[in-house]
């Protein structure tokens, strides 16, 4: 298991796996599934959640309102990942071509350089309790802080299970806004250790529980009592160091690629227009893992972009540098409020199966794995941009989508896609021409 505070490796009962599954792309989906079952803790019965409409309609009907069906995404497996000395296979639910392949390719380069190193903070979430209209907001702030222990005690009385697991309300903060559209406003924050939950229900319940006490202390009237998705006390971090030799290709030296990646990141650091696309590339890695495990990807997205703006200007989530030995060093840190218990992580059969594949023991470990995927995806995008351009590899994989749109079926898809990619002409009308010729020749 990962020691989440320092990112070191300790002995555990977990079976070791080898994430270096060579030739996986040459197998059929059924053969890939069998290899994943043989390689990970995923059991055959749980694996059946994939490929059979992973979410039964009866379960979906209990998850949200007005259900009339389900919507599926492809789920692929990212290979080659070594994180804190341990191999992981990463399930990714995503519709965009090249994402899984790019992450796996970068992980293969990185694993020979020691893999990814990660760490994370304790799983602290915030609940916010709004008190507008106070004549003495700073005096009210002082009174609330004076009663801090009483507020913590009342909050913790609401969730004995969380307390028994080592979590609970840890502290109280009070923020005063002197000038808002409705006048001065005081906001009380509960800082809650939610353990292996995402934490929304826990902190919302605590906020509502202490609201009457806040009103008694301040003499005001509480309005909103709600969590914040800006989980700035729940940060996950990933770091990678890659040698120039590992980066080198036939066309480009490793030094040239490393320099290009650093320059591309510098562009995102100074320019919000570039930073938006740069960070989207990071989320290309993060979101598919969040979705696959049944977690709240909207919350992760919201927190990430606020974090990217915390200086007052929107900027890059990641940083890339070259150390004194010429190695490329990449770092990424961002809020990562993920859970292993509650919500869709427990109700969605495919989410439970994805977590079996990952074989993580804590929400912090899941957060660290996920941020490592984000850094790998960022590295892949910057490497492509700094060399042959983003379209070469992406369009080769996108060609399969275009072949399907053109009407290709079965083995026709790969054949049509190969022709489109070889001619660098990935268009639906061209795909239809190739398909027509293929069928004519076959007939």
Active site residues: 96, 280, 296, 394
Rounded to a whole number of angstroms, the distance between the first and last alpha carbons of the chain is 57
Tokens of 339: 């859970």
* Alpha carbons 283 and 302: distance in angstroms, whole number: 11
Nearest to 150 by CA among 177, 184, 188: 188
* Contact (CB, 8 A) for 132 and 182: yes
DSSP-derived secondary structure letter, 396: H
Helical (H) or strand (E) element with 224: none
- Report how far residue 74's alpha carbon sits from residue 96's, in angstroms, rounded to the nearest whole number: 9
Residue position matching structure tokens 């379960």 = 59
Rounded to whole angstroms, how far apart are CA atoms 379 and 44? Answer: 34
CA dist., res. 32 & res. 34, Å (int): 5
The set of residues, in sequence order, having a beta carbon less than 8 Å from that of 38 and lying 6+ positions away, is: none
From the DSSP assignment, how many helices (H) and strands (E) are in the chain?
18, 12
Q: Which of 124, 136, 126, 125 is nearest to 186 (CA)?
A: 136
Q: How far is CA 53 from the centre of its chain?
A: 23
Q: Which residues of 83-122 are buried (b: 16+ CB within 10 A; e: fewer)?
A: bbebbbbbbbbbeebbbbbbbbbbbbbbbebebbbbbbbb
């Amino acid at each position: 298991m990962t020691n989440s505070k320092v990112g070191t490796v300790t002995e555990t009962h977990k079976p070791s796996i080898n994430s270096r599954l060579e030739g996986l792309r040459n197998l059929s989906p059924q053969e890939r599934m069998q290899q994943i079952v043989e390689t990970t803790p995923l059991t055959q019965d749980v694996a059946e959640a994939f490929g059979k409409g992973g979410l039964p309609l009866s379960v979906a009907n209990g998850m949200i309102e007005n259900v009339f069906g389900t919507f599926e995404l492809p789920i692929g497996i990212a290979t080659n990942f070594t994180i804190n000395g341990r191999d992981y296979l990463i399930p990714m639910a995503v519709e965009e071509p090249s994402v899984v392949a790019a992450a796996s390719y970068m992980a293969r380069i990185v694993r020979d350089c020691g893999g990814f190193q990660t760490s994370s903070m304790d799983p602290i979430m915030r609940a916010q309790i709004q008190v507008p209209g106070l004549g003495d907001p700073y005096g009210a702030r002082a009174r609330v802080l004076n009663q801090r222990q009483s507020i913590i005690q009342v909050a913790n009385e609401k969730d004995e299970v969380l307390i028994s697991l080592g979590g609970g309300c840890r502290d109280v903060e009070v923020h005063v806004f002197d000038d808002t559209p409705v006048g001065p406003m005081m906001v009380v924050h509960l800082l809650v250790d939610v353990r292996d939950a995402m934490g929304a229900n826990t902190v919302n319940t605590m906020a509502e529980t202490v609201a009457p006490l806040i009103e008694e202390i301040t003499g005001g009237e509480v309005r909103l009592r709600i969590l914040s998705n800006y989980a700035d006390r729940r940060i996950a971090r990933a770091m990678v160091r890659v040698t120039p030799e590992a980066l080198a290709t036939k066309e480009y030296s490793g030094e040239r690629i490393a320099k290009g990646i650093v320059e591309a990141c510098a562009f995102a650091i100074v320019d919000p227009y570039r930073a938006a696309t740069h960070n989207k590339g990071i989320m290309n890695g993060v979101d598919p893992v969040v979705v696959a495990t049944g977690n709240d990807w909207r919350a992760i997205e919201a927190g990430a972009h606020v974090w990217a703006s915390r200086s007052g200007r929107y900027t890059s989530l990641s940083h890339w540098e070259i150390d004194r030995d010429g190695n490329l060093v990449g770092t990424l840190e961002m809020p990562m409020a993920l859970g292993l218990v509650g919500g869709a992580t427990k109700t969605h059969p495919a989410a439970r199966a994805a977590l079996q594949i990952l074989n993580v023991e804590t929400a912090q470990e899941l957060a660290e794995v996920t941020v490592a995927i984000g850094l790998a995806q960022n590295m892949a995008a910057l490497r492509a941009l700094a060399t042959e351009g983003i379209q070469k590899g992406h369009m080769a994989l996108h060609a399969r989508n275009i072949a399907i749109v053109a009407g290709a079926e079965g083995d026709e898809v790969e054949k049509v896609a190969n022709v489109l990619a070889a001619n660098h002409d990935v268009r639906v009308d061209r795909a239809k021409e190739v398909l027509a010729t293929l069928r004519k020749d076959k007939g």
